[in-house]
Amino acid sequence: MAADRRAANDALRALLSAAGWTYEALARNVNALGAENGIRLRYDRTSVAHWLAGSVPRPRTRELIAEAFTRKLRRPVPLGALGMGKSAAPDVLGSLDAYVRKGADGERRAVPLLATLCGMDADPARRRLVQQSVYNAVEIDAPVWPGRSAESSVPERPLTRKDIGRPEGAAGLRSATDFFRRAGDFGGRHARSALVSYLHDDVVPRLHAGGHESTYFPLLAEAARLVHVLAGMYVDDVRNGAAQHYHRAARLLAAEAGDRTTYAVVLRSMSGHALDLGHRRTALRLAVAALGIATADAPPDVRAPLLAQLALAQAAVGDRRRALASLSEVARLQDEMSGRPTSGRCVPGSSGAALACRKGRTLALLGDRTAAIAALRASLEQRSATAYLPCALTRAEIARLLLGDGRLEEACAIWHRFLDDYLHLRSGRADRILAGLRGELRVHATRQPVRSLLRRVDAFVRNPE
pLDDT of res. 94: 58
Query: Quick one: 439 exposed, middle or buried, by C-beta within 10 A (0-12, 13-18, 19+)?
Result: exposed
> Which of the 8 DSSP states describes residue 37?
T
Other Cβ atoms closer than 10 A to 440: 15
How many whole angstroms separate alpha carbon 35 and alpha carbon 75?
22
Which of 165-174, 192-201, 235-244 shows the lowest mean pLDDT across its residues?
165-174
Q: What is the mean pLDDT of residues 237-251?
A: 94
How confident is the model at residue 103, as a pLDDT? Answer: 43
Mean pLDDT, range 271-298, rounded to an integer = 91
Look at the alpha carbons of 236, 251, 34, 400 in this order and tell me if their dihedral is positive or negative: negative
User: Amino acid identity, residue 399?
Assistant: A
Read off the DSSP letter of residue 203: I
Higher pLDDT, 158 or 123: 123
What is the spatial distance between Cα 404 and Cα 407, in angstroms, rounded to a whole number?
8
When pLDDT is averaged across residues 367-380 and rounded to a whole number, the result is 97
SS3 108: strand
Distance CA 207, CA 220 (A): 7
Region 173-188: mean pLDDT is 93
Confidence (pLDDT) at 54: 87
Confidence of residue 38 (pLDDT cuts 50, 70, 90): confident
Contact 427, 396 (CB under 8 A): no
From CA 249, how far away is CA 343, in angstroms rounded?
A: 23
C-alpha angle with apex 43: 40 to 46, nearest 5 degrees?
165
What is the DSSP code (8-state) at residue 109? P
pLDDT the model gives residue 142: 57
CB 362 within 8 A of CB 353: no
CB 204 within 8 A of CB 115: yes
Taking alpha carbons only, the member of 286, 267, 185, 191 closest to residue 224 is 267
Min mean pLDDT across 45-49, 357-361, 397-401 is at 45-49
pLDDT at 138: 75
pLDDT > 90: percent of the chain: 63
Q: What is the mean pLDDT of residues 225-249?
A: 95
Give the mean pLDDT of 33-58: 90
Which of 145-154, 183-192, 233-242, 278-287 shows the lowest mean pLDDT across its residues?
Answer: 145-154
Burial (0-12, 13-18, 19+ Cβ within 10 Å), 39: middle
pLDDT score of 3 more than 50: no
pLDDT band at 407 (very low <50, low <70, confident <90, very high): very high
Count other Cβ atoms within 10 Å, centred on residue 260.
17
- CA-CA distances (angstroms) from residue 410 to 320, 415, 455? 28, 9, 17
Q: What is the mean pLDDT of residues 159-168?
A: 46
DSSP lists the bridge partners of residue 102 as 108
The reported pLDDT for the residue numbered 396 is 97
Task: Compute the average pLDDT of residues 412-422.
Answer: 96
Average of per-residue pLDDT across 366-376 = 97
* DSSP secondary structure letter of residue 425: -
Q: Which candidate, 351, 349, 353, 355, places its Cα nearest to that of 327?
A: 355
Among 71-75, 195-199, 225-229, 249-253, the range scoring the smallest mean pLDDT is 71-75
Range with the poorest average pLDDT among 110-124, 156-170, 303-317, 450-464: 156-170
Q: Quickly state the pLDDT bin for 129 (edges 50, 70, 90).
A: confident
Bridge partners, 108 (sequence order)? 102
Give pTM, 2 decimals.
0.87
Work out the burial of residue 335: count CB atoms within 10 Å of its CB; fewer than 13 is exposed, 13-18 middle, 19 or more buried. Answer: exposed
pLDDT at 149: 55
HEC profile for 112-162? Answer: HHHHHHHHHHHCCCCHHHHHCCCCCCCCCCCCCCCCCCHHHCCCCCCCCCC
Higher pLDDT, 393 or 336: 393
